[in-house]
A and B are shown apart, each in its own frame.
Chain A
Amino acid sequence: AQSVTQLDSQVPVFEEAPVELRCNYSSSVSVYLFWYVQYPNQGLQLLLKYLSGSTLVESINGFEAEFNKSQTSFHLRKPSVHISDTAEYFCAVTDGGSQGNLIFGKGTKLSVKP
C-alpha cells in the first residue's frame, strides 16, 4: 500500500526567506503526486501536481516541486515566502487505479514570521 511521509510537522521561517517542505512516498510502478494547502477553517486547495512529463512542476504563486523517482521524493520549495503563505501543507499520492483515493501525509504547518 502507498504511504506518504512528511518529515517536518512544523516549519517556522521568516518572511522573504526560502523554504523547503519535504515529502517522501513509498515506491510504486507509477504514481501521481500532489501538494495541497489548507488555510484555517477551510478545505484543501490544490497547489500543484505531478502526473507525468517534466519532473519540475510549478504553481501560480511561486511554489515548485520536483519529482525525484530514485529518491521517491516530491519536496515543495519556495525561494521567498510571504506572511500569507502561513498554512498547513499536505503531500498526497495515488496510483493509477485509485481514483479519488488520495493517500495524504500528516501535513506540515508552515509559519511565516515578519
Chain B
Amino acid sequence: KAGVTQTPRYLIKTRGQQVTLSCSPISGHRSVSWYQQTPGQGLQFLFEYFSETQRNKGNFPGRFSGRQFSNSRSEMNVSTLELGDSALYLCASSLGATDGATLHFGNGTRLTVT
C-alpha cells in the first residue's frame, strides 16, 4: 500500500501570501489530521477531518483552514502568511473508526515564509 503523500515537499512564500498544502491518505483511511512542527513549539495539532467533516480543531487562528474531499484527500490552507508560520506541516491518516487508532504520517511539507 502506498503511504501518506504530501505535496509539495518544500515551499517558499512571502509574508502576506496564502498557501495550500495537499495530503493524500493511505487508501481506505477516512481520517486525516494536520500537525505543525517547529523547533520552539514542537508538534501541535491543527485539525482533523473524518468523512469530509471537521471533527476536531486545535488552537490556531482562523487563518489556518482545511477541508477534506469525498476521496479522503485533504488540503490545508494558510492565508496572510506570517514569518512565524514557517514550519514543517505534517499530515497523518488513520482508519479513524476507533479510539487510539494509529496515525500514519507523511514526510511533510516544509514551508518557509520570508
Contact = CB atoms under 8 A, between A and B. Distances in A.
Interface of A: 32, 36, 41-46, 49, 51, 90, 94, 96-107
Contacts, number: 71
26 contacts: A32-B100, A42-B108, A43-B90, A43-B92, A43-B105, A43-B106, A43-B108, A44-B90, A46-B103, A51-B99, A51-B100, A90-B43, A94-B99, A94-B100, A99-B50, A99-B94, A100-B31, A100-B45, A100-B48, A100-B50, A100-B92, A102-B33, A102-B45, A104-B42, A105-B42, A106-B42
A45 to B, nearest CB: 7
Contacts of B102: 46, 49
B42 A99 contact: no
Contact of B48 (A101, A103, A105): A101
B4 interface: yes
Going nearest first, the 6 A-B pairs with the smallest beta carbon separation are A100-B48, A43-B105, A32-B100, A100-B33, A104-B43, A44-B105
Contacts of B100: 32, 49, 51, 94, 96
